[in-house]
C-alpha cells in the first residue's frame, strides 16, 4: 500500500473516531440529565414518586406493578417518577428529586424503601406510603391530591381574574 493511500485511510479513521467520540459524549450528557429538568420545573401536575433500591426485591417488586398500573390508569393527569437509591445511581436520583422539588422526601426515605410520595403540583406532600400497600391506598392518595390540585387551580384562576 502506498504512503498516500495509508495517509488517506488514516485520516478517514481519525474522522470516524472523532464523530463516534462526539456522539458518545452527546449520548452520555443526555443520559445523565435527570429526566428533562427544564420541563419538570414547569410541570404542575400531581406528582407520584416511587423510591426503591435495586437490592429490594420482595417489597419493591410488589409495588412496581401497582405503580405501572396507576401510571397507565391516570395517564397524563399525573406525573410518575421512579427514584433508585442504589449507591451507583443515587446522585442522579438526588438531582432529579431536587429538580422536582421533592429532595427532602428522597432524603427522608432513601433508607426506607419502597416508599411512595404523593404531591400536589405545588409539591405539597399529601401522603407518604412506606412499604408495599394495597393499590387502593395509592389511589386514595392520588385522588385526594387531584382534588386539592383542582381546588388550588380554581383559586389561582379566581385570583388572576380579580387581579
Write down the pLDDT at residue 43. 79
The alpha helices in 33-134, defined as continuous H runs, are 37-42, 58-74, 90-99, 103-109
Write down the pLDDT at residue 65. 97
Name the residue among 59, 39, 55 with its Cα closest to residue 47: 39
CATH class of 39-162: alpha beta
Order of strands across the sheet that contains 115-119? 78-84, 46-52, 115-119, 125-130
Q: Give tens-digit pLDDT for 116-132.
A: 999 999 999 999 999 99
Kindly provide the residue ranges of all beta strands, DSSP E only, lying in the chain, ordered along the sequence. Answer: 46-52, 78-84, 115-119, 125-130
Mean pLDDT of the chain: 80
| Mean pLDDT, rounded, for 28-53 | 65
Separation between Cα atoms, residue 37 and residue 32, nearest integer Å: 11
pTM of the model: 0.71
Write down the pLDDT at residue 143. 98
Amino acid at each position: 500500500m502506498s504512503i498516500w493511500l495509508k495517509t488517506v485511510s488514516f485520516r478517514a479513521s481519525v474522522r470516524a473516531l472523532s464523530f463516534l467520540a462526539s456522539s458518545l459524549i452527546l449520548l452520555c450528557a443526555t443520559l445523565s440529565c435527570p429526566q428533562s429538568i427544564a420541563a419538570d420545573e414547569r410541570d404542575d401536575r400531581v406528582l407520584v414518586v416511587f423510591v426503591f433500591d435495586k437490592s429490594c426485591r420482595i417489597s419493591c417488586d410488589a409495588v412496581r406493578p401497582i405503580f405501572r398500573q396507576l401510571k397507565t390508569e391516570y395517564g397524563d393527569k399525573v406525573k410518575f417518577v421512579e427514584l433508585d437509591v442504589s449507591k451507583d445511581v443515587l446522585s442522579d436520583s438526588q438531582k432529579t428529586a431536587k429538580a422536582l422539588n421533592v429532595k427532602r422526601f428522597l432524603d427522608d426515605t432513601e433508607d426506607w424503601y419502597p416508599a411512595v410520595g404523593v404531591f400536589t403540583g405545588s409539591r405539597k406532600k399529601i401522603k407518604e406510603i412506606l412499604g408495599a400497600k394495597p393499590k387502593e391506598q395509592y389511589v386514595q392518595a392520588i385522588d385526594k391530591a387531584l382534588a386539592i390540585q383542582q381546588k388550588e387551580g380554581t383559586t389561582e384562576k379566581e385570583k388572576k381574574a380579580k387581579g
